[in-house]
Each structure stands twice: as C-alpha cells, then as structure tokens.
Amino acid sequence: MRKSLEDKIKKIKMVAMDVDGVLTAGEIIFINNTDEIKIWNVKDRMGFALAHRTDNLKLCWITGRESKEVARCAAECHIDAIYQKATKKIQAYTDLKEKYKLQDDEIAFLGDDLIDIPLLRYAGLAICPADSPREVKKEADLVTKAQGGKGVFREVIELIIKTQDNWDKVCARYYEEGE
C-alpha cells in the first residue's frame, strides 16, 4: 500500500457511504407498488459487526432514495447515522461533521456514481466500487476489488481495521471461542 494511502486510512474515525450501488448491486425492486426492496449482502453485515467491535469507527449511510427497508436495515446493523432522500448529500455530510465533531480527514466516504463526487472530494479518504464510472474512479483514493453489493464495505472495513492495527483485537473472539 502507498504510504500516503496508509496515512489517510490511519486517521479515519467515520465511514460514511452511499447505499444503492455500494451496499447493493444497484438493483431497484418494487413489489405491488409498495415499499422498495433491497438485496443486502451477508458479508457486509459481518463487516458492520467488525466495525462496531473496534469501538472507534462511526458508520453512516447517506442515500438520495428513501425506503422503510433502508431504515429497518440500518437499525438492524446499528448504523450510527442515516440520511435518506439526501438530494444534496453535502448537507448530510456537513451535518455529520458537526454532530460527531469530525474533520474531513477523519471521514472515509464510499460512493459509486456522479452524485457522490462532491463527497468523494470533501472526505479525507475517497473510495468507490470496482464497477463505478470512470469519472468517479478518478476521484477515488481507492477502488475496491469488489463490485457494488458483492462485499465492497467488507473489503473497505477490513482494510481500515487492519491498517489501524485493530484486526487481531476485533477477531480475537473467533479464535478464542470454545477454548
């Protein structure tokens, strides 16, 4: 890993992210015109659990869409803050910084499309999935190997936890359990 990237990762205290195309493969599904359905990934779920166990990483979702399912899932995953219908994502971002008293370089942002470019520019660590458009990749410090919905967050959170030297602590229970 480049030294400059490593330095950026070490400072991160919050991982903020878009939802569709990052935590999902971008599928949009409705049933009987009712609420929107998402296809989440169990690998990311495990990632949220790992993040919480560091005790020093806040998690936030910022999405331009709105659905009960996103709220339900955020609650299930103990996401610290969630912004839906955020057409101006920069407002959510500014609000977040103030609420958690964070500097730009303490925030990582994961986004996959043009609408995420402003936040990718503000955040100290800009990350996008492998299947993002060229314009988005140009703004990113890091492009994940995973495509949207295939474990993007899991890949990112493992990298952050390992770079911040918390991996052994976070995983200890899996190796000690049952002994």
Q: Which residues bind its own copies (CB under 8 A)?
A: 20-21, 24, 26-35, 37-43, 45-46, 50, 68-69, 72-73, 88, 90, 113-115, 117-118, 121-122, 133, 135, 158, 171, 174-175, 177-178
Closest of 1, 11, 32 to residue 105, by C-alpha: 11
Q: Please, which residue, 48 or 127, has the CB nearer to its own copies?
A: 48
Q: Where are the beta strands (DSSP E) in 48-97?
A: 58-62, 81-83
Q: Please, which residue, 4 or 33, has the CB nearer to its own copies?
A: 33
3-state secondary structure at position 98? helix
- Rounded least distance, CB 32 to its own copies, Å: 6
CA torsion through residues 75, 166, 39, 142, sign: positive
Q: Please, which residue, 55 or 175, has the CB nearer to its own copies?
A: 175
- Distance, CA of 176 to CA of 20 (rounded, Å): 36
- Rounded least distance, CB 24 to its own copies, Å: 8
- Rounded least distance, CB 12 to its own copies, Å: 20
- Distance, CA of 80 to CA of 95 (rounded, Å): 13
- CA of 63: how far to CAs of 31, 55, 66, 98, 178, in Å? 21, 25, 7, 19, 40
Q: How far is CA 156 from the centre of its chain?
A: 8
Q: Please, which residue, 88 or 99, has the CB nearer to its own copies?
A: 88
- Rounded least distance, CB 104 to its own copies, Å: 12
Q: Please, which residue, 50 or 127, has the CB nearer to its own copies?
A: 50
- Rounded least distance, CB 21 to its own copies, Å: 5
